[in-house]
Structure formats: C-alpha cells, structure tokens
Amino acid sequence: MVQPDHGSYLRSLAFELEASAQRVRNLIGDAHWLSDGRHKEFLLAELVRRHCPSGVRVATGFVKDPALPDCVSHEQDILIADTTAHAPLFDQGGLVVASPSQVLATISVKSTMNSETVRQSLDNQFAVRHIACQSGLEPSSIWCGAFFYTASPAIVKDPTKPYTYVNAWVKDNKAATATERAPLLWRLPDTLCCLPEFLYRIDQSTEAPVVRGFRSSSMSIAVFLVLLLGHIAHKRGGRFTTCASLVEDGGGTPLSPADYEIV
C-alpha cells in the first residue's frame, strides 16, 4: 500500500520549478536572457496561481492609486490582486493595473540571488509599500516577497551573506525615508526564497528588523507558498491555509547565526 508522503509532495514543487527552468537553458544556452527571465516569472506565477483561491488574479502588473496621478509602482513580476469585489483598473494581455487596496501580494523574481539582485528586489518591494503608505494603507497589508532560482557561489559558500545585503540596503536608504509616515522597517519584504534550500524571513514586529535565515532540503518554495497563502487567507477573512498543515516546520533548520538585526 502506498502511504501519503507530504514531504515528497512539497519537495516536488522545487524539482518542478528547477526542471522547467533548466529546460529552456538546455535549448538556448546563454542566449536571450530576457526571454529566459520571463519564462521563470511565468513558471512561478503558474505555481502560485494553482494554489490560490478563486477570485484572486495572478499576473504581471503595476500598483496604482487612481486618486494620486503620480502614485504608481515599478512593474511587478508577479502581482496578486483580489477581484471578488471589483475588477482591476486594467486587465488585458496578462498585464494588470490594480489599486493598492486590491493588491494582496507582489513577488520579485530573479534568476540568481546575489548582492545586486537582492538590492533590486528590495528597491522594487519598497516602491510597492511606499504606494500603500501614500494611499493611507498599512504597508504590511501587501505581502512582499522575492524569489530566486539559484544562489550565487558566494551564498552557497556562506548562506548568511544575504543578511549583509539587506543591512547594506537599509543603510543606503535610511536618510531617504527618515521623514516618511511609515517607518523604514515596514517597507522591507516579508520573505526572500532561494531554490532549492534557502529561506530568509524578515521579522518587522520589533523596533529594528531582524533577518532570520533557514536551510531546508528542497522545501524553501513550499514554506514560501505557505507564508504567501496564509497572508491571502487572512486578508480574505480566513484563519489558515490548507497547505500549512502539510509543512511540519516553520522554515527549516536555522542558519548559524540564525538571526541578524538590521542596524
């Protein structure tokens, strides 16, 4: 008799993404990097879409407040909007423009996790939460994440490197945000996920943000999904997501050091 194996099921999500992404590389080599990036965004968007409840739109898009003419985000690789109450401002050809109150989450997608792509992801998600703040919303009402398909050699050698990348970004941006209504710490993304095993959660409940790093065998995407879907469920009035019951730990084995306080 075949017994249920939740761990294998969840690990297969990582294997699926890695295999599908590599398939294109095997065919085109180093050519057409833009096409390769779009394909990777599509793969993750499809995975997220399959696990989202009805009435949730998953697409590429922008966050815009129609009451504020200049209040528009950078293009979001993945934008997740609640369409149960009303349609987005624009929805055509796979591109969505949604108001901040509609947006449940945004995800930045990069091929390789390194200092530059982490900085780009932080810039992108900062813009989203800045718009939420300008619109009178709590910046944390929009879940923000960054997803990377592979880690740079420097991170493979030292998985705590992203701690310093986040800290460097905060130092560079403190002066620019000192007068803003929402504190800087609420503008950082919630989670950074790197296939197949690294996950970094940014705890923003304390005065100074804390980055917590985890390593788990091909389970980082499963935990990333659970955190995302949990936020969506909460925003739509639910108490939990069904995927959460399949994940036995909160992220994996803590890195050493496990916590890094942003200063």
77-100 pLDDT, tens digit per residue, is 999 999 998 899 999 998 999 999
Instruction: Evaluate if residue 247 carries a pLDDT over 80.
Output: no
146-185 pLDDT, tens digit per residue, is 999 999 999 999 999 999 999 999 888 876 555 454 455 5
Can you give the pTM of this predicted structure?
0.89
113-154 pLDDT, tens digit per residue, is 999 999 999 999 988 988 988 888 888 899 999 999 999 999
User: Residue 204 has which token pair?
Assistant: 């923003």
Percent of residues, the chain, with pLDDT higher than 70: 84
* Angstrom distance (rounded) from CA 155 to CA 161: 6
Confidence of residue 245 (pLDDT cuts 50, 70, 90): low
Q: What is the mean pLDDT of the chain?
A: 85
Instruction: Evaluate if residue 30 carries a pLDDT over 70.
Output: no
Instruction: Evaluate if residue 251 carries a pLDDT over 70.
Output: no
pLDDT of res. 2: 47
